[in-house]
Structure 1
Amino acid sequence: MSAFSDALSVSSSGLRAQADRLRVVSENIANVDTPGYRRKTLPFELGEGSDGVREVQAGDTRLDRSDLERIWDPHHPLADPAGFYDGTNVDLIVELADAREAQRSYEANLKMFEQTRQMSSSLMDLLRRG
């Protein structure tokens, strides 16, 4: 039964990592119009779970250091004397693509979790009959 618990552990770690990724993407989307906001990214790392199984884990949140958009609006309260202020470096299209990718990865991990659970249940039924 160890293989079943290992598979469940791996798929649940993937679920947690993708949920964290969706949280970061949603923060980026929520701040797409916030002046001075820098896009956050969340790298994934391989770690070892409590039972010694290698699992995927979300790393530390990082800030995208690419240039912020310069916006000209001399009437904006944050505008400098030349009339410019720093916008954001969040690209809504990129964030939506990242959200879709995280959603599909989450669904794949959920499918793996469900199939492992069904296989384990079927094995238990077979052992009870035998």
Structure 2
Amino acid sequence: MPLDPLSATVKIAASGLNVQSERLRIVSENLANAQSTGTEPGADPYQRKTISFASALDREIGAAFAEIDSIQRDRSEFPLEYMPGHEAANADGFVKMPNVNPIIEMADMTEANRSYEANLQVIKQARELISMTIDLMRSQS
């Protein structure tokens, strides 16, 4: 049985909430580990994670919704920082630092937060329309 348009709208917006909350989790993890180095000389530090999304067709509602396609590691090089006393410093005194750029992560966080809020607003509006419809039907009987 196909869903009504408002229920389909809520389902689509809910999928947007799910992917954006996962995106926020990944960004938070990256920011939390922005200074996490290795524990032995030459060891690799924390490697930034990235998330990609896909559009999936829900045949029940006849519409596309968002889903997580993959969570991968960023393969960009680790920046080197001169810290000769650090436990992870190589023979030349350089430490591999995480490939996390806090400015990029904050921009991603802002975008994910705005997308999350937009999907939440869609759900709120749909609920309000459903409530108004029920009230209208009650007044007609």
Q: TM-score, normalised by structure 2?
A: 0.86
Sequence identity (%): 37
Matches within 5 A, 1:2-13: 2-13=4-15
How far the C-alpha of 1:59 sits from its partner, in A, is 2.1
Letter in 2 for 1:40: K
Distance in 2 (CA, whole Å) between partners of 1:41 and 1:79 is 27
Letter in 1 for 2:123: F
User: What's the C-alpha RMSD, in Å, of the aligned pairs?
Assistant: 1.5
Give CA-to-partner distance per residue, 1:63-99, whole Å, 9 cap, x none: 1111111111221111111111211110111111111
Letter in 1 for 2:29: E
Matches within 5 A, 1:1-130: 2-35=4-37, 36-49=45-58, 51-52=60-61, 53-130=63-140
**SS at 2:6's partner residue?**
helix
Distance in 2 (CA, whole Å) between partners of 1:51 and 1:68 is 46
Letter in 2 for 1:13: S
Distance in 2 (CA, whole Å) between partners of 1:90 and 1:30 is 10
Distance in 1 (CA, whole Å) between partners of 2:112 and 2:90 is 38
Structure 1 range deviating more: 50-59 or 11-20: 50-59
**SS at 2:70's partner residue?**
coil
**SS at 2:36's partner residue?**
coil
Distance verdict in 2 for CA 1:72–1:20, change over 3 Å? same
- Flag structure 2 segments of 5+ consecutive residues without an equivalent: 38-44
**SS at 2:91's partner residue?**
coil
- Flag structure 1 segments of 5+ consecutive residues without an equivalent: none
**SS at 2:92's partner residue?**
coil
